[in-house]
Amino acid sequence: MKRLSNLLVVIIPLVLLWACSSHPYSKTNRDHRQQAKQYSKELRQFPPRHGGDDSLHYGPIWVGTTNFNLRKPNYVVIHHTAQHSVDQTLRTFTLPRTSVSSHYVIGRNGEVYQMLNDYYRAWHGGIGKWGNNEDLNSSSIGIELDNNGYEPFSEELIESLLDLLHVLKDRHGIPTANFIGHSDIAPSRKVDPNANFPWKKLAEEGFGLWYDDIAVTPKVLGDSLKVQDQDLTRTRQLRVAKSEVMVGGSSTDSLDITINPREALRIIGYDTSDMPAAVRAFKLHFIQKDIQPVLSDDELKILYNLYQKYL
């Protein structure tokens, strides 16, 4: 028995050492748990202690309300990794010096890696803006897709993404319009996910909005004004069929519509302080070809159709 005990004393540490060495992220997982534990300790501390608040005139007793819950995410921001493998991305997100992270990473083979609890604030969005929200990291879930930035997205990856989006939408009640891309919130800095990303397919599943098919190949019932210059802020007037504007309508009478590109893009959510960048981001998401800061008549009609959905 003594011999067996001595043998176990030798074997057990070896087994534990092997188990740790076989898991490439055992150290970062341990660091993750320690950091989460520290945050949990701070949240449990009541009243919270903040440096420099001794000058505040507190009441004689501390009263903790029972009416609270966790802060919930309200957006999903989709990225491509711009790296060569999911392993490279997982390593990047576990190196402190990179200061970048995401809640989920999905590999080309469809494997899903959750790296943070949904309620934690990941560092995935950087400096960006969508509507009046200038801190997307604090209100969003980041999803990174294993893609080098130029290649098509694999079917396995997209199917896993759709499964994940269904879970997140049901879990957090995220509005349909709030599934967006990194390039949408940072048009002057980012181009992900790339033009191969199937935004229309996602919209058909309830994740993001898309324009109506009737606006894809519009029938112009008269001469429309051409966008001849680079001034993307002027109001444009286009002559179209009523059925293009009133989806499902049977009338084919002509109708003049007026659209201000800057205002329409702003209503959708784009930061229009840099109009060429905003137009490129819009086209990357909804047109997915000829990503130049120029809007043709057909693209203006698509923009008109979309901004009405965001009103």
Q: Tell me the sheet residues that pair with 240.
A: 255
Cα separation, 84 vs 253, whole angstroms: 53
CB 249 within 8 A of CB 212: no
User: 118 is written with which tokens?
Assistant: 């949904």
Task: Annotate 235-285 with DSSP letters as a single string.
Answer: -EEEEEEHHHHSTT-----EEEEEE-HHHHHHHHT--TTSHHHHHHHHHHH
Cα separation, 262 vs 257, whole angstroms: 15
User: 272 is written with which tokens?
Assistant: 């229009």
Dihedral sign of CA atoms 23, 28, 31, 32 in order: negative
Query: β-strand 104-106 against 254-259: which pairing, if any?
Result: unpaired
Give the distance from CA 142 to its chain's centroid: 5
Cα separation, 182 vs 76, whole angstroms: 10
134 is catalytic: no
Cα separation, 306 vs 271, whole angstroms: 16
Catalytic residue among 111, 144, 155, 204: 144
Cα separation, 43 vs 27, whole angstroms: 25
Cα separation, 117 vs 115, whole angstroms: 7
Q: Which amino acid is at 130?
A: W
Active site members: 144
